[in-house]
Structure 1
Amino acid sequence: MAVGKDIIKAIHEEIRSNLRIMHVCGTHEAAIAKHGIRSVLPKELKIVMGPGCPVCITPAGEIDCAMDLAAEGKIITTYGDLLRVPGSKGSLESADGDIRIVQGIHKAVEIAKNTDKEVVFISVGFETTVPTVAATILQNPPENFSILSCHRVVPPAMQWLLDQGEADLNGFILPGHVCAVMGYDEYEQFPVPQVVAGFEAEDLLLGLYMLIKQINNGEATVENAYPRAVTREGNTKAKALMYDVFTPCDIEWRGFPVIPGSGLELKREFEKYDALKRFNKTIPHIEKRSACICDQLLRGLAEPTDCPLFGTACTPRSPVGPCMVSHEGACKIWHQYHR
């Protein structure tokens, strides 16, 4: 704890102006809230959340597509977090059909091996989860198995945020889990201060201190405050596996437009496992139809308590928006720790 206090003191001594720092990791938001980090920071330093929750940025059109597949008699397998994410006509939890919660793609494959029905796995996640999916596809799963690829990669979304400039950001805390797989060399293209941080209180405080030092020195580089898990090049075997099976594609994020190169789709040689191509489906664009401000939260423009629905019409028991659903969603985290 003494180390944490020393870093807090150093942050207060170094702060010289109003700063807005964005993290792009739902686990970082959970750690920040759990440890009360915002409460010990100078009032001039504001940490905002970005598109760091893969469940939260899954758009309504992908949920609708999965619901349509279920209605057609396919067995839909998914992580529990995705079950209550709203589409335009409800959620998977309220959908007709055979929808099953699984712990991972390997469990979905087991289901496919024991049925004649088509089994679709909703494959969600950032780069952290993709290598496991790629390895499974390379093992030639059953002919009745396919995936709805909802994977996304972080750097193009950061590029979009920087291009828009709407959140007036001074720097980024980079996601430790993603960087453990991907490394951080691809973030060096961005002309803004960045630090890879871990998930303990001291990790995050050190990351913030390093960012403030960069800003004060007029620097814009990528530093690593999480060297026990992250290297510049990342896990080269996992990255090679990922790009053996997947290729970048343009894809919509909830709260964002279509971001070029920000999605991952199966390569041509693996198209038989692509549920969209297999069943001739497309992902519809769904316009926002509620007062939920998840779109603003995911772009760093608002906080959960700014939403008129937070804690009243929208709670973890009856979520209106995806940020109240996932354990990495800002609204659910704030509902747990900020009450």
Structure 2
Amino acid sequence: MATGDELTAALRESVDRPYTFMHICGTHEAAIARTGLRSVLPEGLRIVMGPGCPVCITPQGEIDAALEFVDKDCIVATYGDLLRVPGTRGSLESSGGDVRVVQGIHKAVEIAEKTDKEVVFISVGFETTVPTVAATLMGRPPENFSILSCHRLVPPAMQWLLEQGEASLDGFMLPGHVCVVAGYEEYEQFPVPQVVAGFEAEDILLGLLMLVKQVQEGRCEVENAYPRAVCREGNRKAKEIMYGVFEPSDVEWRGFPVIPASGLRLKPEYECYDAQKKFDIEIQHVEKTRGCICDRVLRGVAQPTDCALFGKVCTPRTPVGPCMVSHEGACKIWNLYHVRHL
């Protein structure tokens, strides 16, 4: 691979007009901010963030459902990023219930094996994390274990963004982690330049250069700038396991409406592990928090510093919206690295 300096020089020579590309991965945003990559990009080349943080796109209604499990005296287990995401009446961290941070579903199952209490795992994530969850459920955990499936699929959200056209995008940088599992065949349906990119500064610069070249040459295809980890078909075994346990469903994303076939629910043969059905909990739509612009940040039409609450009322310790909570959330990333503008 060319060096960062060589790729930066090539970009500066190539950019002949304004370009706007969107990435859909919180790890990409963290890498861009940490390395100060935007400061070396040629004028007119913008890379904006999209709905690439699975915690951030979890709607408030699902957080409220997690709090209902606390009310029912369940042990609630989940990833640390989800603890301080605000619900209508507080967060899991402030709930006063038995809420435990785990590194994955297997640790939540270990808790269930050592107690008679009901254990509910709040299971979030894109295609990257679903196969592990599916494999664990295939192993038939104890009867006192269940999950709230908050999983999402990336391609349907991309389709929604393209249909709206509100961000005026020239192309997408596809999420490397997701594509390791899912591959990129499904993205070939979209008539827009796309490049799968890794997470080093050179990976991202190469991805941007390839996107610019596609636009200039009038091509709309999926190119792979991350072949050391990603292939077109992805991990077939992981996908077989995932779709052996889950099936697509219509779900709401935070900042988006209900997007058809963009979520994953348990298949009938695994419904005994569906916490929502087990405890008869209905997920309600909740209107967004006044003043918070997480919804617009997740759609790529605003940046964190456009928000009047950013770094003032809304901080990582006192978050108003989820983008200030997760380590993959744009607001928390910008706050950490003191980013003030694109």
TM-score w.r.t. the length of structure 2 is 0.98
Separation in structure 2 between the aligned mates of residue 259 and residue 327 of structure 1, nearest angstrom:
25
The one-character-per-residue Cα deviations of 1:130-185 (angstroms, maximum 9, x if unpaired) are 00000000000000000000000100000000000011110000000000001001
Question: How far, CA to CA, are the matches of 1:265 and 1:3 in structure 2?
Answer: 44
1:46 aligns with 46
Aligned residues: 339
Q: What amino acid does structure 1 have at the position aligned with 2:164?
A: Q
- Number of the residue aligned with 2:281: 281
| SS of equivalent to 2:314 | coil
Quick one: distance in 1 between partners of 2:103 and 2:230? 25
Instruction: Report the Cα distance in structure 1 between the residues aligned to 2:245 and 2:294, rounded to whole angstroms.
Output: 32
Matched with 2:264 is 264
Q: Share of identical aligned residues, percent?
A: 71
Q: d(CA) in 2 for partners of 1:222 and 1:229?
A: 16
Give the secondary-structure state (helix, strand or coil) at the position aligned to 2:93. Answer: helix
Q: CA deviation at 1:94?
A: 0.9
Match in the other structure for 2:124:
124
**What are the superposed Cα offsets for residues 285-331 of structure 1, whole Å, 9 maximum, x if unpaired?**
00013211100000000111100011111111111110010000000
Instruction: Give the Cα separation in 1 of the matches to 2:284 and 2:76.
Output: 19
Distance (Å, rounded) in 1 between the aligned partners of 2:2 and 2:233: 32
Q: 1:60, 1:88 within 8 Å by CA — same for their partners in 2?
A: yes
Q: Which amino acid aligns with 1:283?
A: I
Superposed CA offset, 1:183-216 (max 9, x none): 0010000000000000000000000000000000
1:313 is matched with which residue? 313
2:33 corresponds in structure 1 to: 33
In the alignment, does 2:145 pair up with 1:145? Answer: yes
Unmatched segments (≥5 aa) in structure 1: none
Alignment of 1:1-339 (within 5 A): 3-338=3-338
Check the 8 A contact 1:71/1:96 in 2, yes or no: no
In 1, distance between residues paired with 2:37 and 2:153? 27
CA distance in 1, matches of 2:284, 2:96: 19
Segments ≥4 residues shifted beyond 6 Å: none
- 1:144, 1:315 → 2: CA distance? 37
Indicate the SS of the match to 1:121: strand
Partners of 1:327 and 1:74 in 2: CA distance: 27
Structure 2 alignment gaps of length 5 or more: none
Structure 1 residue 87: Cα displacement: 1.0
Deviation at 1:89, TM superposition (A): 1.2
* Residue 2 of structure 1, CA deviation: 7.1
What is the CA-CA distance between 1:17 and the residue it aligns to? 1.2
Matched residue of 1:289: which SS? coil
Looking at structure 1, the residues matched to 3 and 78 of structure 2 have their Cα atoms a distance apart, in angstroms, of 41
Deviation at 1:280, TM superposition (A): 1.0
Q: Deviations over 1:27-49 (max 9, x none)?
A: 00000011111101112111100
Q: Aligned partner of 1:103: which letter? A: Q
Instruction: Work out whether residues 2 and 202 of structure 2, in 8 Å CA contact, stay in contact via their aligned partners in 1.
Output: no
- Given residue 108 of structure 1, which amino acid in structure 2 is its aligned partner? A
CA contact (8 A) 1:121 1:146 kept: yes
Distance in 2 of aligned mates of 1:91 and 1:105: 21
> Is the CA contact (8 Å cut-off) linking 1:172 and 1:194 kept in structure 2?
yes
> Separation in 2 of the partners of 1:181 and 1:237?
9
Amino acid at match of 2:91: S
